């Protein structure tokens, strides 16, 4: 009998070419699968709630896998973490779940945060973990423009060319912008997102913060349903998958 395990994962995306296993470099999925094999001697497939891109971080990624060996959640957590060293991946929580649970399909909401360091001086400790914009951004204008994106829309203007989603229509439940000392945080909640959707929205809102666009421009961009109408894609380094709801 095989047991299904749900795990919660934190990782720094800088050393990885993304979540999903691929041939051009080490991925988070591959690293964890290898760690599971190292302690259990079982080959497993790890299914994640979201396929984060190269350089994107996670504070609460979710995934599941099956094991035939009988053990405890604490043992699974500690054993995987032991074999992940020294990679910047940490298994925060492990729980046994029901047999047909699926980390991606069963998710009802995904929560992302984007961090902008908005000060003249560059980052030191947070290099690779924030988008540094040295000139001042107007957060009030950004927050106002962001409200036009909340709700159910065709987000083609914010969709990557390589996106594999069946439909560009998504429901953005929340898009909040606020300041924390020298940082601007942008939080986005939805059941699911298009490829690069959050980063493309951030890149557009940055231009609003610079005074180059306004709320009406964001409305126009959304209605255009044309990727070339929107702003550039924000760097991966500022993006975090913070949690997944079930």
Residue tagged 């009030």 (tokens):
140
Which domains are seen in the chain, by residue range?
A: 3-97 (3.30.70.580), 109-245 (3.30.70.660)
| Nearest alpha carbon to residue 5 among 72, 91, 65 | 65
The whole-number average pLDDT for the span 191-196 is: 98
Confidence of residue 7 (pLDDT cuts 50, 70, 90): very high
Query: What are the catalytic residues?
Result: 53
Label residue 225 left, alpha or beta by phi (over 0 means left) and psi (-120 to 50 means alpha).
left
pLDDT digits (tens, 9 = 90+) for 124-142: 999 999 999 999 999 999 9
State whether residue 180 is helix, strand or coil: strand
Confidence of residue 30 (pLDDT cuts 50, 70, 90): very high
Structure-token pair, residue 66: 């099956």
Mean per-residue pLDDT over the chain, rounded = 97
Look at residue 114 in the predicted model and tell me its pLDDT: 98
73-60-205 Cα angle (round to 5): 175
DSSP codes, 136-172: ---HHHHHHHHGGG-EEEE-GGG--TT---S-SEEEE
Distance CA 29, CA 16 (A): 10
For residue 98, which phi and psi values (nearest 5 degrees)? -75, 160
Name the percent of the chain lying above pLDDT 90.
98
Label residue 89 left, alpha or beta by phi (over 0 means left) and psi (-120 to 50 means alpha).
beta
Confidence of residue 192 (pLDDT cuts 50, 70, 90): very high
| 117, 128 contact by CB (below 8 A) | no
């Amino acid at each position: 009998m095989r047991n299904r395990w749900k795990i919660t994962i934190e990782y720094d995306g800088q050393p990885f070419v993304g979540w999903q296993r691929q041939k051009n470099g080490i991925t988070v999925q591959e690293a964890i699968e290898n760690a599971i094999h190292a302690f259990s001697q079982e080959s497993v497939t790890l299914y994640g709630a979201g396929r984060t891109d190269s350089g994107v971080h996670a504070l609460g990624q979710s995934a599941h896998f099956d094991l035939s060996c009988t053990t405890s959640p604490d043992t699974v957590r500690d054993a995987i973490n032991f074999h992940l060293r020294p990679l910047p991946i940490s298994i925060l929580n492990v729980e046994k779940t029901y047999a047909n649970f699926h980390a991606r399909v069963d998710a009802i909401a995904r929560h992302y945060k984007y961090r902008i360091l908005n000060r003249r001086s560059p980052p030191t400790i947070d290099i690779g973990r924030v988008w540094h914009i040295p000139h001042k951004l107007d957060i009030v204008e950004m927050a106002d423009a962001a409200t036009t994106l909340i709700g159910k829309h065709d987000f083609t203007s914010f969709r990557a060319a390589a996106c594999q989603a069946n439909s560009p229509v998504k429901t953005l439940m929340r898009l909040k912008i606020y300041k924390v000392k020298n940082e601007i945080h942008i939080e986005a909640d939805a059941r699911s997102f298009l490829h690069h959707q959050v980063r493309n929205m951030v890149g557009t809102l940055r231009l609003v913060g610079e005074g180059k666009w306004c709320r009406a421009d964001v409305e126009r961009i959304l209605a255009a349903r044309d990727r070339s109408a929107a702003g550039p894609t924000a760097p991966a380094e500022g993006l975090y998958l913070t949690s997944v709801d079930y």
